[in-house]
Structure 1
Amino acid sequence: MKAHGTKAVPTDVYLSFVSSLFGNRQTLFTGMLVHILTYLVVYHKTKDLVFVMLAIAFVVVFANRLLLFARFSKAEKSTWSLDDIRQWEARYVLGGASTAAILGIGCGYSILEFEDTFVELACVSVTMASMVSVVGRNYGSRLAVNLQSLACCAPIIVGAAFSQDPYKVLLSVMLIPFVLTTQAMAKGVREFLYENVLAAREIKKVVGSFDTALNNMTHGLIMLDPHNRIEVINRKACELLNLGERARLKSCDLDVVLRYGVRHTFIDGSMPSLIQRQLAQLMDGTISRAIMQFSEDLVLEFSASRRPEGGVVLIFEDVTARVRADRKILHMVRFDSMTGLPQRSYFAELVRDQIAARTKGGEIAFMVLDVDEFKHVNDMKGHVTGDRLLAAIANRLLKLAAGEAIVGHLVGDQFVLFFPNAEQRPDLEQRMRAIHAAIAGQYDIDGTSFAVTFCAGAVQMDIAELRMEEWQIKADLAVFESKSRGKGNFTAFAQEMDARYIERQRLKTDLKEAVETGALQAVYQPMFVSDGSRIACCEALSRWTHPDKGAIPPNIFIQIAEEMGIVADITRFMIRTACRDCATWPESIGVSVNLSVQDLRNDDIVRTVLDALDESGLAPTRLHLEVTESSLIEELGAVRLILEELRQHGITIAIDDFGTGFSSLSYLDSLPVDQVKIDRSFVRNIGEDAKRLKLLRGIVTLSRQLDLGIIVEGVETQEQLALLAKYDLADLIQGYVYSMPIASEAVADLAERAEKKLVAAGAVNVA
């Protein structure tokens, strides 16, 4: 060590050096035996008792040192301090120095007293032999080396000096560099070992840290040599692969180890070919990452890194939970949570897979089923019951189509079936009709029995003609055709439907152009007071005259406008036109305009109405706005705010088609409404049906108790008019009994004629 004192040396290192002094006792025993025998032989030659005394001294020192060594071995060294270790070093040094001193004294005495070559050679030889062993045995203690070398050589130098033999004196002086060299050699060995002990300790610390980190990793790790034998494997790897104790796995072939480990995992006790292939690809660098499923409860993700010297490092983790979550998410994406059926995109994927698996051509078919009036189920029983009904329908469909068709859920209350027709059945349409008939019937949900029917649309085609983007359009056209015929119909697609669809698309284009260019017209159907004496208001009705097809019925082009999302544009046109026309009529006549569901989805309608009033100069009190019950049901809260704002400006609000929904009466006390417009269905046959008349009277009575004005529409006969007048069931009457829809220019004339008729009737009564 580089002039290190014991205080500069770590305790554990210092202890290891001192412990080295007490090691190798066999050499100590051998040395002492040689020393004693040598001196006894010298005594035999010289008969000098000094050598006997020296031999006895050897025995005493040897006995003490053996006792010291035994005590050192039994001592509990873990609790020793530096001072304790230093004391044991001092004891050893004392014993070693004593032995060296006896040897030195014997040499010096033989040189001084005898001229016998044998005596001198014997004593010097055994002493020099001990000197040689000083480095090898006592390097751990600088003090031991220094004292023993001095104790051996100093008496020789003194004896030679007093012998007055110049050659002996010269030879003894040569011992000084020998002593210094011995001390230097011991120092070099000591420092070299000290540095290596420290380095080994650091390496051990690093190795310990590495081992701790390795075995506390959340990932498994296997390091392989170029022959795929295991060099390093951590605890997590053994746990994940069920390999047992890792110590016995070193240098084992990975394939053999895995076969042993996974035999508890696989039923047949062997690795599947997929895993073997993936591992081989990882080993040769073909792939760097792979997910392997060892069992239902164990999925591992492996990554591989090539080592510069050859071999591979495999790192893997348990991704079972992640894979299960991914599969669950994928299932949620692919399958409808309500019905458990494939959703639209995954249904299309299944169809493509079936088509790809076909080796022959032939007919295939699709059928779309739409539940009739499903909205009423949600309205009456709630969405939970509606969802359960759809689930029940899905279950019945799966049973009916088992082995024949793939069943999917398109959207809402629509289901789809794909018939791959693998058996080339010629009666494919009859089979679809049979399923359509069988799926209809009674469904018991939450204690309620529902009689469910379906409108179905089917399309058959040759497999070579299939276009995924076209089949649903054709099926939807067939469904639309079924709905137009009524509930429970089945319609197979025909080419003329496609033609009608194309025609409808052209009609959409023409309608959009008509709205943008203002090519629509407005006509007005008057609302008379109950005795017909004057016009109180006129309902604005939109009309469209197609340049080629002539007049298009409102129920057709309004429905098209709603599909296109441009009905709000028609509403803006009608409000502006109605306000402008009404401003030219007598001030006693107002105008009424219908608002759609789309108009009430935001408050833009308020600005539209106010701008129209400002442009026309029409008083807000002359404008009436009619809202349908469907718009109230969809967005009740938002609609209430919009209607309240309109009403604050003096605009009259009426509920149109009142009584046709399921919950109209519940809205009367929560909405800012001034009038109710009773649907024509309540007026029809009131002369023949007493119950219908009672129902109408009940609605009117309730509405008037809430201070609402009553408008009855669809009055067509004098009999109906007489009953309404008899029971005072209307404040305003609208219908053909008084007038058909007329142009704006005719309103003033009609109002004037009504007044003249009233005057004439009054004159007759006076007369």
Structure 2
Amino acid sequence: MKPQSPNVVPTDVYLSFVSSLFGNRKTLFTGMIVQILTYVAVYSKSGAHFYIYLSAVFVIVCGYRIYWFQRFDAADKEAMSREDIARWERRYLYGGVSTTTLLGIGSGFAVLVLQDFFAEIACVAVTLASMVSVVGRNYGSPKAVNLQTISASLPISLGFLLLRDPYMVLLSFTLIPFVLTTRSMANGVREFLYKNVIASREISLIADRFDTALNNMTHGLFMLDGNNRILVVNRKACELLHLTNQDQLKDCELDVVLRYGVRNAFIDGSLPSLIQRQLAQLVDGSLSRTLIQFNEDLFLEFSANRRPDGLVVLIFEDVTSRIRAERKILHMVRFDPLTGLPNREYFVDLVKENLAARRLPGTIAIMVIDVDDFKHVNDTKGHISGDRMLVKIAARLKEQAGGTALVARLMGDQFVLFFPNDDNAPDLDTRIRSLHGAIAGNYEVDGNTFRISVSGGYVTIESQEFRPEEWQIKADLALFETKSRFKGGCSAFEEEMDARYIERQKLKDDLREAIENGGLHAAYQPMFKPDGSRIECCEALSRWVHPEKGSVPPTVFVQIAEEMGIVSGITKFMLDQACKDCATWPEPISVSVNLSVQDLRSNDVVAMVMDALKTSGLAPSRLHLEVTESCLMDELATVRAILTELRAKGITIAIDDFGTGFSSLSYLDSLPIDIVKIDRSFVRNITEDARRLKLLRGTVNLSRELGLQIVVEGVETQDQLTLINKYQCADFVQGYVFSTPVPTERIIAMVESLAKKQVVRRRKKVA
């Protein structure tokens, strides 16, 4: 790295070299004073006025150089161009070369003209001394070194040569190595300094870039020495730790910095010792990475790198957003978004944690509760109101549970509670039933008041016997028992419930097999004219004879089929069988088939009905389809569209069990209905209770005003039939007073028997 010429070196380096020419001016002026005094002394010794003249010129040159030195000091170095720098170099050369030229002339004159020993020694000594100083002062300019050494030594060499003394001639040649050595020394100094200037500049550039990179990192950084003192700290570290005076942190102990943070209320007061332990583990190499919580609003993740020289580099970043996102995700995973209660999975985890921390064994309990008829709230007020209802129920559950139970949401309108019974109180059952009773009651939602009841089932077990996979089965069995027997109650699990559950599951499997393999059969209950003279229609009733249990009541197996979602299989069988059997009966006897709620949830039932009619060849007018009021409440618009389509095909539509549902009368005018089948509850006690009879008559009159035919169900006694006929309350009568459900063969026999009776009556009238 050798600077061949000023044109090669960078401008800033060139400027530094030229600036060195104008530096250290005290030695320069001292030398000039010595030079002037020397020439004055030579004049005094030799009496040669020539040296007085040289001294005067020295003074003029000295003034010149002082002037330009002051001008250089005042110049704007940063604004200088390369040409400006070269101009200043030339100004320096004018003064410097003039000085050495005067020294050389003075020395040459003493050697050649005066030939005075003192004059020769004094002048040559001062000149050679000045040439030596050229190395230390003028290394920055090759021109200055070359011109000054030549201008100083050339007159002396000429003086020696012109004396024609062989020794003097030899002495003149010895100046050549001196000049070359001086020049070489100056070049060496300049080259050395040039390398250092370039290296220093590169180091400064690297340091600046490193500082820029360090202070623009997205991570905080500490470099610590072996004594845990801060050697390097970047700006991000100060920002993250809310520290000021970045430069003052150097050589401070990290513990002191953290305590400073505590004093400034940055770190929560309970955490510094924990933080210091975590950082100490990072520094000593026990940990390579750790997450440190400084307060609720700041989480920093640290990583450490221990170097062989004992230095430790700590890098950390703000992961608060990530931690918050993870917590939010974890909360979403663990908690129900609607009620804010723990979900099923987290509930199990909490129970396990409680039992693991339990010191002594004891009796615990888990209860599952279900909101009764909650679907009615959704259907009548909408799902938004239903959700708000669940929120209020959850809030009351938490309030009533207090610290005695843990509440969670299972699904839908089901909740679960865990009673840890930490005090092993013997009245655990009483506490459970008391809490269950407190949940029921009135709830205000969107300006509406709802009377809510809940069914509950619970299981009590020893804490050490808790099995996550078993608790819900047993609690669900107890809940199922409650809902089967008395809604709104609360039942404890008993072992026989398990047996009944297994038996019911077996019954489900058998029912599915019976439906798939034709194990069902149909019975028919006739609907008579009120005088019993003729059968108008027969209601098809499904029957199932179990190979082991015998006859299973329809109320049992139809409910099971609805739970399993296979009731449409029963409907299809009954449609096919009823249409096939009716086709064998004398006209115009019709057959009536019941449709379930599940049948009316899609248009598939229309195709099913038409297939049955087509296969049997039965006229659509001879098929009646019965729907209950519960069917009408579920998706009324869909049900209306399906019934309208069926009625348009000539099929008769009837409402079954009329009067047992909600808002019964509102459906009579809005749905495509032909027949109203009044429920047996209207007929019961009409012979003893006049109000019941009036209610029956009012319902019948209203229905007839709407052009509907009336079927009265459940007529069992002759007295009931007499009253119905007296007040003309029925178009058709169905009940045990005329016939129980019978096989299809009996229908034909009954029709034939009634026909014979009619012939006999007519003959008697004729006679």
Q: TM-score, normalised by structure 1?
A: 0.86
Secondary structure of 2:140's counterpart equals: coil
Give the aligned partner of residue 348 of structure 1.
348
1:661, CA displacement in angstroms?
4.8
Give the aligned partner of residue 85 of structure 2.
85
1:553, CA displacement in angstroms?
1.6
Deviation per residue, 1:257-299 (Å, 9 max, x gap): 2222233236885744432332233223443332222122322
1:327, CA displacement in angstroms?
3.0
More off after superposition, 419-428 vs 532-541: 532-541
Change (3 A) 1:97 1:485: same
Q: How does 1:137-216 map to 2 (within 5 A)?
A: 137-216=137-216
Change (3 A) 1:209 1:649: farther
Change (3 A) 1:651 1:678: closer
Determine if contact 2:365/2:461 at 8 Å carries over to the other structure.
yes
Q: In the alignment, residue 78 of structure 1 is paired with which amino acid?
A: E
Question: For residues 632 and 289 of structure 2, what CA distance do their matches in structure 1 show?
Answer: 58
Give the aligned partner of residue 56 of structure 1.
56
1:428, CA displacement in angstroms?
2.0
- Which consecutive residues of structure 1, in runs of 5 or more, have no partner in the other structure? none
Question: For residues 637 and 130 of structure 2, what CA distance do their matches in structure 1 show?
Answer: 110
Give the aligned partner of residue 247 of structure 2.
247
Question: For residues 476 and 6 of structure 1, what CA distance do their matches in structure 2 show?
Answer: 97
Give the aligned partner of residue 692 of structure 2.
689
1:95, CA displacement in angstroms?
1.8
Question: For residues 644 and 106 of structure 1, what CA distance do their matches in structure 2 show?
Answer: 137
Give the aligned partner of residue 228 of structure 1.
228
Determine if contact 2:703/2:709 at 8 Å carries over to the other structure.
no
1:538, CA displacement in angstroms?
4.8
Q: In the alignment, residue 700 of structure 1 is paired with which amino acid?
A: S
Give the aligned partner of residue 679 of structure 2.
680
Is it true that 1:403 corresponds to 2:406 in the alignment?
no
Change (3 A) 1:765 1:117: farther
- Which consecutive residues of structure 2, in runs of 5 or more, have no partner in the other structure? none
Determine if contact 2:528/2:734 at 8 Å carries over to the other structure.
yes
Q: In the alignment, residue 680 of structure 1 is paired with which amino acid?
A: D
Secondary structure of 2:223's counterpart equals: strand
Question: For residues 743 and 709 of structure 2, what CA distance do their matches in structure 1 show?
Answer: 26
Q: Identity rate of aligned residues, in percent?
A: 61
Give the aligned partner of residue 14 of structure 1.
14
Give the aligned partner of residue 557 of structure 1.
557
Q: In the alignment, residue 106 of structure 2 is paired with which amino acid?
A: G
1:11, CA displacement in angstroms?
3.5
1:489, CA displacement in angstroms?
2.5
Question: For residues 37 and 116 of structure 1, what CA distance do their matches in structure 2 show?
Answer: 17
1:471, CA displacement in angstroms?
2.4
Give the aligned partner of residue 422 of structure 1.
422
Deviation per residue, 1:56-98 (Å, 9 max, x gap): 3222222222221222112222322222222222212222222
Change (3 A) 1:594 1:250: farther
More off after superposition, 283-292 vs 757-766: 757-766
More off after superposition, 712-721 vs 486-495: 712-721
Deviation per residue, 1:124-171 (Å, 9 max, x gap): 333333333333322333332332233223333333332323443344
1:718, CA displacement in angstroms?
6.7
Give the aligned partner of residue 282 of structure 1.
282
1:344, CA displacement in angstroms?
2.4
Change (3 A) 1:667 1:78: farther
Question: For residues 562 and 763 of structure 2, what CA distance do their matches in structure 1 show?
Answer: 51
Q: In the alignment, residue 152 of structure 2 is paired with which amino acid?
A: C
Secondary structure of 2:496's counterpart equals: helix
Determine if contact 1:568/1:598 at 8 Å carries over to the other structure.
yes
Question: For residues 447 and 216 of structure 2, what CA distance do their matches in structure 1 show?
Answer: 58
Q: How does 1:558-597 map to 2 (within 5 A)?
A: 558-582=558-582, 584-585=584-585, 588=588, 592-597=592-597
Is it true that 1:112 corresponds to 2:90 in the alignment?
no
1:560, CA displacement in angstroms?
2.2
Question: For residues 516 and 744 of structure 2, what CA distance do their matches in structure 1 show?
Answer: 22
1:472, CA displacement in angstroms?
2.5
Give the aligned partner of residue 257 of structure 1.
257
1:241, CA displacement in angstroms?
1.4
Secondary structure of 2:86's counterpart equals: helix
Secondary structure of 1:252's counterpart equals: coil
Give the aligned partner of residue 69 of structure 1.
69
Q: How does 1:526-545 map to 2 (within 5 A)?
A: 526=526, 538-545=538-545
Change (3 A) 1:124 1:342: same
Question: For residues 665 and 609 of structure 2, what CA distance do their matches in structure 1 show?
Answer: 27
More off after superposition, 626-635 vs 474-483: 626-635
Determine if contact 1:603/1:642 at 8 Å carries over to the other structure.
yes
1:44, CA displacement in angstroms?
3.4
More off after superposition, 311-320 vs 112-121: 112-121
Determine if contact 1:683/1:715 at 8 Å carries over to the other structure.
no
Secondary structure of 1:129's counterpart equals: helix
Question: For residues 377 and 181 of structure 2, what CA distance do their matches in structure 1 show?
Answer: 110
Give the aligned partner of residue 45 of structure 2.
45
Determine if contact 2:224/2:313 at 8 Å carries over to the other structure.
yes
Change (3 A) 1:24 1:752: farther
1:611, CA displacement in angstroms?
5.9
Q: How does 1:438-477 map to 2 (within 5 A)?
A: 438-477=438-477
1:24, CA displacement in angstroms?
1.9
Determine if contact 2:262/2:268 at 8 Å carries over to the other structure.
no
Give the aligned partner of residue 295 of structure 1.
295
Q: How does 1:616-655 map to 2 (within 5 A)?
A: 630=630, 634=634
Question: For residues 669 and 93 of structure 2, what CA distance do their matches in structure 1 show?
Answer: 113
1:247, CA displacement in angstroms?
0.6
Secondary structure of 1:689's counterpart equals: helix
Change (3 A) 1:55 1:277: same
Question: For residues 391 and 270 of structure 1, what CA distance do their matches in structure 2 show?
Answer: 36
Deviation per residue, 1:444-491 (Å, 9 max, x gap): 445544444333323222223322222222222222323333244232
More off after superposition, 625-634 vs 489-498: 625-634
More off after superposition, 556-565 vs 719-728: 719-728
Secondary structure of 1:158's counterpart equals: helix
Question: For residues 438 and 533 of structure 1, what CA distance do their matches in structure 2 show?
Answer: 58
Question: For residues 94 and 648 of structure 2, what CA distance do their matches in structure 1 show?
Answer: 117
Determine if contact 1:242/1:262 at 8 Å carries over to the other structure.
no
Secondary structure of 1:518's counterpart equals: coil
Aligned CA-pair RMSD: 4.0
1:737, CA displacement in angstroms?
5.5
Determine if contact 2:523/2:543 at 8 Å carries over to the other structure.
yes
Question: For residues 414 and 339 of structure 1, what CA distance do their matches in structure 2 show?
Answer: 12
Change (3 A) 1:227 1:460: same
Secondary structure of 1:426's counterpart equals: coil
Change (3 A) 1:330 1:663: farther
Q: In the alignment, residue 474 of structure 2 is paired with which amino acid?
A: K
Give the aligned partner of residue 100 of structure 1.
100
1:549, CA displacement in angstroms?
0.9
More off after superposition, 28-37 vs 259-268: 259-268
Secondary structure of 1:18's counterpart equals: helix
Secondary structure of 2:209's counterpart equals: helix
Question: For residues 6 and 533 of structure 2, what CA distance do their matches in structure 1 show?
Answer: 129
Determine if contact 1:713/1:733 at 8 Å carries over to the other structure.
yes
Question: For residues 237 and 614 of structure 1, what CA distance do their matches in structure 2 show?
Answer: 85
Question: For residues 676 and 81 of structure 1, what CA distance do their matches in structure 2 show?
Answer: 112
Give the aligned partner of residue 741 of structure 2.
741
Secondary structure of 1:42's counterpart equals: helix
1:639, CA displacement in angstroms?
6.2
Question: For residues 536 and 7 of structure 2, what CA distance do their matches in structure 1 show?
Answer: 117
Deviation per residue, 1:615-644 (Å, 9 max, x gap): 656666766655555556555676677778
Change (3 A) 1:697 1:569: closer
Question: For residues 760 and 508 of structure 2, what CA distance do their matches in structure 1 show?
Answer: 50
Question: For residues 114 and 313 of structure 1, what CA distance do their matches in structure 2 show?
Answer: 76
Give the aligned partner of residue 703 of structure 2.
700
